[in-house]
Structure 1
Amino acid sequence: MGYPITFRQLEIFNSVAKHLSYTRASEELHLSQPAVSMQVKQMENLLDAALTEKIGKKLFLTPVGQVIWDYAIHVLSSKSAMEETIASMRGSEKGHLRLAVPETANQFVTLSLAQFRKLHPGISFELLIHNRQGLLECMKNNEADLVIMGQTPEELDLETRSFMNNPLVIIAPVNHPLTKRKSIKLSDLAELEFVVREVGSGTRLAMQKFFSQHKATLKTSMEMPTNEAIKQAVSAGLGLGIVSLHTLQQELALNLVELLNVKEMPIMRIWYMVHQKQKIVTPAMQVFMDFVSEKTENIWVEKYPSLDTYL
C-alpha cells in the first residue's frame, strides 16, 4: 500500500528532524508552529507510527522517524537533481548549492563565488562556515552538497577533487627579532611559543605532523578556536602562529603581522572539493566544480599577485 506523503511534508519533516525542534523548523520554513506540527501529525497518521517523541524538554526521533528522515534526505536530493537536470535540458541554468567551507577558505571561496555568479546567475548558494568537525558532520548528515577542506577523512566514502595548493606559513608580530633574518631554521624556533588552533583542527593536525617529521619542538602557549583569533593574538605579541596563506591578505597589507622566512616552510597542503560518493551530482554541482578546478587559483593570484611565490 502506498502512502500519499507529499514532497512538502518531507521538506517540513526534514527541517524538524535536522533541528529537533518544531519551533526552529517553523522559523526556517516561515510557517507557524501549528502548521508544522499538523503536517508531521498527518504523516504519522498515514504511516500509523510516531515519528518524534518528547522526553523532558528535548525532542527525539523515533526509530521510524529516523528511517523516514534518511529516506527524506535522499528523496529531496533526488528531486532537486531532477529539477536542475530538466532545467538544463531546456537550455536554462538553475540550481541551489549548499557549500560548506572552513573559515580558512572563506576569503578565496567568496572571491570565486563572485566571479562564478557573474557567469551563472541562475545558480544560488548557501554558504556554511564550520571547523573541521562541523564539515564532517555536514557530510555525514547530508547538510551540504559540496565541502571544501584541506585534509580529507579516511573513514568516509568520498569523492575528492584537488584544485589548489594551501601553504601554511609562520607569522610573527611586526618588528619581532626574527623578521630581520633572511633565513631561519625550524630548530631556531624550539624555545619560542606558538598560538595554535584547537585539537582536531586540520591546521593543528598538519602542524603536529610537520614538526614531528622534522624532529622539531612545538611549544604551545595558547589555543584559539579560529584563525582570526590566532592572527589577532600574534599581532598583539602573544606568540608566533601558523596559518594558511589564504587568510593573511588583509593582515599583511595593513602590516599587522609579518611572515618568517623559515627554511623548511611552508607546510604545503592541498585544497579539495569533497562529496559523498552516493551523492547525486547535479548539473549545478558539476559546473561549479569545474569552475573551481579551472579558475580559483588564477582568481586568487590575480587579486593578490605578491603572494604568488608561496603557492
Structure 2
Amino acid sequence: MRKSLLRMTFRQLRVFRSVCNHLSYSRAAEEMALTQPAVSLQIRQLEELIGQPLFDYVGKKLYLTEAAEALQRASADIFGRLESFDMQLSDLQGSLQGQLSLAVESSAKYFIPHLFAAFRRQYPEVNLQLVVTNHSQAIKRLNANRDDLLIMSRVPTDMNLEFLPFLNNPIIAVAPPDHPLCNQSTLSLPDLTPFPLLIREAGSGTRQACEEYCHQKRAHFAQTLEVGSIEGQCEGVIAGLGLALLPRHAVRRELECGALRELPVAELPLLRSWCLVHPRGKYLSPVAQAFFAFVRDQRSLINALAERFAEPSSASQPGS
C-alpha cells in the first residue's frame, strides 16, 4: 500500500463524501458546517495524497474523476465497516442498534414503510435512511455501493447480485370514474389504445415493463404524455388527461375513495416481483443482515400486510 494513503483522515473522507453527494463545494460546506475554502483545502490535500485529481469542472458542473469514483467506493466500505462495528458493539450489549440505509424504486415506496414498521417492532432501536429512486438510478447506486440494501424489480442479469423476491407488484389500468371505458364489464389491452396514456420518465422500471408488455400484446398507444412521478400520473388521470398503468399499491387510496377506477382489462394485472438486492459478496452490517433475514423468514406477515393493498375496493369496480 502507498504510505501516503495511510495519512488520509476520516475528516477528509467525510468532506469528500459530502462533495460527491452534493456535487457542490458550497453545499458540502453547508452540510459540514465549514467554509468553502476549508472544503477546497481538504479536497486538495486528498488529491496530493492520492496523486490524482478527484473532480473536474465542465462548464459550471462538477464531475467525479475515475479516481474519485474508486475512492467513493472505498470510503463507503470504510464507513460501512465502522458503522457495522458500532452495531456489533450494541449487539454485544444485548440490543441491535444502528441505521438501515435502504434504497427503493418508487413503486415500492408505498409498501416499504409498512414493512419497516413491522421490522422495527422487533428492533425498536434501528433507524431508517430511505432513498426513493427510479430503476436506472437504482442500478447506479448498486454500482457505487451506496446503500445497505435495495428494493427493486427487474434485477439486472449482467451484474453479480444476490436477490430475494418477496412480494408481487401488480400493475393495473386506471381511469377517472366518468371515463367511457368504466362502463365496460370486460376489456382487452388494445381497447385502451385510442386514449392517451400517461407514462413515467425514461429510466423508470415500471415504464419499461409496461412498454415491453404492451408491445408483446400488440397494444400500441398513439398518444402518450410523459409525467415524472407516480403521483403526477395519478393526478393527471384524475384531471382527465388520459389513462395510466400504475402499481395497485400506489393508487389504493384513490381506488377506495372512488377518485380512480380500475379498468377490467383481461391481460392485467401485470405481475412483477419486488426483490431485496445487494451485490454478491458485499459485507452486510448486522442491521442489514437482520432486515434481510426478516424479509426472508416473515412471509406470512408480509403477505398479511400486502392484503391491504391487494384488492380493489367496490368503489373501483364498473357500475358501482
- Which stretch shifts more, 177-186 or 240-249? 177-186
Partner of 2:126: 123
1:239 deviates by: 1.5
- Would the aligned equivalents of 1:132 and 1:201 in 2 still touch at CA under 8 Å? yes
User: Structure 2 vs 1, CA of residues 31 and 91 (structure 1 numbering), >3 Å: closer, same or farther?
Assistant: farther
244, 254, 275: which one pairs with 1:241? 244
User: Structure 2 vs 1, CA of residues 265 and 72 (structure 1 numbering), >3 Å: closer, same or farther?
Assistant: same
Partner of 1:72: 75
Cα deviation code 1:110-141 (max 9, x no counterpart): 22223333332221111111122221222122
User: Structure 2 vs 1, CA of residues 68 and 169 (structure 1 numbering), >3 Å: closer, same or farther?
Assistant: closer
Partner of 2:113: 110
User: Structure 2 vs 1, CA of residues 49 and 199 (structure 1 numbering), >3 Å: closer, same or farther?
Assistant: closer
Are 1:298 and 2:301 matched, yes or no?
no
Are 1:143 and 2:135 matched, yes or no?
no
- Which stretch shifts more, 148-157 or 279-288? 148-157
Unaligned runs of 5+ in 1: none
Unaligned runs of 5+ in 2: 314-320
- Which stretch shifts more, 40-49 or 156-165? 40-49
Q: CA RMSD in A?
A: 2.7
Letter in 2 for 1:78: R
Among all aligned residue pairs of Structure 1 and Structure 2, give the percentage whose two residues are the same amino acid: 34
1:220 deviates by: 3.2
User: Structure 2 vs 1, CA of residues 21 and 165 (structure 1 numbering), >3 Å: closer, same or farther?
Assistant: same
TM-score of the superposed pair, with normalisation by structure 1: 0.87
92, 95, 119: which one pairs with 1:89? 92
> Within 2, Cα distance between the matches of 1:154 and 1:71?
24
> Within 1, Cα distance between the matches of 2:216 and 2:56?
51
Letter in 1 for 2:213: F
Cα deviation code 1:204-240 (max 9, x no counterpart): 2111222222233333331111111111111122221
- Would the aligned equivalents of 2:190 and 2:220 in 1 still touch at CA under 8 Å? yes
What secondary structure does 1:107 align onto? coil
User: Structure 2 vs 1, CA of residues 260 and 154 (structure 1 numbering), >3 Å: closer, same or farther?
Assistant: same
TM-score of the superposed pair, with normalisation by structure 2: 0.85
Partner of 2:318: none
> Within 2, Cα distance between the matches of 1:155 and 1:29?
37
1:8 deviates by: 3.1
User: Structure 2 vs 1, CA of residues 62 and 208 (structure 1 numbering), >3 Å: closer, same or farther?
Assistant: closer
1:144 deviates by: 2.0
Partner of 2:9: 6
User: Structure 2 vs 1, CA of residues 54 and 191 (structure 1 numbering), >3 Å: closer, same or farther?
Assistant: closer
Letter in 2 for 1:98: S
1:52 deviates by: 4.7
Letter in 2 for 1:28: E
163, 168, 172: which one pairs with 1:165? 168
Partner of 2:317: none
- Please list, as runs of the form range in 1=range in 2, the aligned pairs for 1:179-218 lying within 5 A after superposition: 179-218=182-221
> Within 2, Cα distance between the matches of 1:161 and 1:190?
35
> Within 2, Cα distance between the matches of 1:226 and 1:47?
41
1:87 deviates by: 2.6
What secondary structure does 2:111 align onto? helix
Letter in 1 for 2:93: R
User: Structure 2 vs 1, CA of residues 177 and 83 (structure 1 numbering), >3 Å: closer, same or farther?
Assistant: same
1:269 deviates by: 0.8
User: Structure 2 vs 1, CA of residues 178 and 143 (structure 1 numbering), >3 Å: closer, same or farther?
Assistant: same
> Within 2, Cα distance between the matches of 1:250 and 1:149?
23
- Would the aligned equivalents of 1:230 and 1:241 in 2 still touch at CA under 8 Å? yes
Cα deviation code 1:153-191 (max 9, x no counterpart): 223222111110011001111032222322222333342
Letter in 1 for 2:180: P
